[in-house]
Amino acid sequence: MVKKSSKTKKNKKSLNLTVLLSLIAAVLVASLVGIGVNISIQPTDEGYTAEIEFSEEQLPAAIEGDQGEVIEDYEVPTVEEVDGGLFEDANTGLSAEDGEYEDLGASVETFDTSTPEAFKNATLGHCVYASNKYGAQCVSLARSFWYSYAHRDVSTCGTGMAKGMMNCADQNAGDDFLIYWKNDAAQIQAGDWLVFEGGQYGHVGMALGPVVNGYVALLGENQGGRYCEGGGAATNIINISIKNLIGFYRPKAYIKPAPKPEPTPTPTPAPAEDKCKKREVVKGDTLGKIMKECKGKIQWGTAMNDYANHWYSTKLNKGHTVFYGWSHGTGYGLFYGDVIEYRAN
């Protein structure tokens, strides 16, 4: 599998990975702040564009619509891994270590988060900066969602990296999100914010549907969209492998109600047996009584004999007619406990 990078005009002049890693090592600030290491990198004119490893096989994505319907043949690039860029607040120089920034409301764009579909429609194709020194990075989009939805900031837990977002999961979730981990991947639904490791920085984006064959449709920034001034790339959609998933956050407003249990079907009672076609002989039965019940009146003589000759025993003396027996060689009479059947012929 070949590892490819998304390209922009400015990328042609950008530092190669070896030089970039050397630069990072040279300016690494080795002071621990909360959980993780606070990384500070001097911005360059080029910004930071994600390294993207595309899959050799392009697979259709499953994207959930606003009414819960799933489009299973949505065509977007299939990606194995995204190594995104850095996050550092342009006003304070903090890499989301404690979630407290100056001028947050003025510097972070807000979008419609009423549904995952609404947020997708509001941000798709846009460069969302969220006051990030390094431009439209994946954490920038997450920061705008957290501010738009929960009216507070998201933290990279002092790392400046997307993959650091799960290091302080309780802080990021607060009272507004549920926390899930990699072993919960089968539960992923539209609106969940997925955090990936992999590469140097990891990646974060919003799921747009369920996991299908190990991949999930992901709305995110700096994952191959159009070039953004100041760094990164505009919001787009990819179909990404969950092999590097760390965990995810679910906005509580997106919790789907538990499906109502299917009502236990009431068994349809068997139709009452037509006692004028088949019946069990009980004490007190006479053929006259049966004839009145089924014919509406008793007819003696030849009519009674003819009627009796149509009732056959199916239990005590199978194949023989009832009652007509003492005057006919094929009959034997009416007996308690027998099951008799009326035959037209």
Q: 228: how many CB neighbours lie within 10 A of its CB?
A: 24
Look at residue 153 and tell me if it is in a domain: yes
- Residues 64 and 190 sit within 8 Å (Cβ to Cβ): yes
227 and 152 inside one domain: yes
| Three-state SS at 185 | helix
Last residue of a domain, one of 254, 287, 315: 254
208 and 89 inside one domain: yes
DSSP string, 11-27: GGGSPPHHHHHHHHHHH
pLDDT one digit per residue (tens) for the chain, 345 residues: 223 333 333 333 333 333 233 333 333 322 222 222 222 233 344 457 899 999 999 999 999 877 777 877 788 999 999 998 788 888 776 665 554 544 455 568 899 999 999 999 999 999 999 989 999 999 999 999 999 999 998 999 989 999 999 999 999 999 999 999 999 999 999 999 999 999 999 999 999 999 999 999 999 999 999 999 989 999 999 999 999 999 999 999 999 888 788 888 877 765 666 889 989 998 888 888 899 989 889 888 888 888 888 989 998 888 888 876 556 666 677 888 899 999 987
Look at residue 270 and tell me if it is in a domain: no
Alpha-carbon span 290 to 97, nearest angstrom = 93
Residue appearing with tokens 């957290």: 146
70 and 154 inside one domain: yes
Is residue 133 left, alpha or beta, with left meaning phi > 0 and alpha meaning psi from -120 to 50? alpha
Look at residue 31 and tell me if it is in a domain: yes
| Predicted pLDDT at 326 | 56
| Predicted pLDDT at 149 | 96
- DSSP-H helix ranges across the chain: 17-27, 104-107, 116-123, 138-150, 169-173, 287-295, 302-308
89 and 154 inside one domain: yes
34 and 92 inside one domain: yes
114 and 24 inside one domain: yes
303 and 201 inside one domain: no
Domain assignment of residue 182, given as a range: 4-254
Look at residue 261 and tell me if it is in a domain: no
Amino acid in position 333: G
161 and 54 inside one domain: yes
| Predicted pLDDT at 61 | 92
Alpha-carbon span 293 to 192, nearest angstrom = 70
The CA–CA distances, whole Å, from 113 to 116, 144, 250, 266 equal 7, 10, 13, 43
In this structure, what are the phi and psi dihedrals at residue 69, rounded to the nearest 5 degrees? -75, 150
83 and 225 inside one domain: yes
Look at residue 213 and tell me if it is in a domain: yes
Last residue of a domain, one of 254, 288, 317: 254
220 and 335 inside one domain: no
Look at residue 236 and tell me if it is in a domain: yes
Which domain CATH number covers 224? 3.90.1720.10
Look at residue 268 and tell me if it is in a domain: no
Last residue of a domain, one of 238, 254, 270: 254
Alpha-carbon span 86 to 140, nearest angstrom = 9
Alpha-carbon span 313 to 108, nearest angstrom = 90
| Predicted pLDDT at 17 | 35
For the chain, the domain total comes to: 2
303 and 249 inside one domain: no
333 and 224 inside one domain: no
Look at residue 80 and tell me if it is in a domain: yes
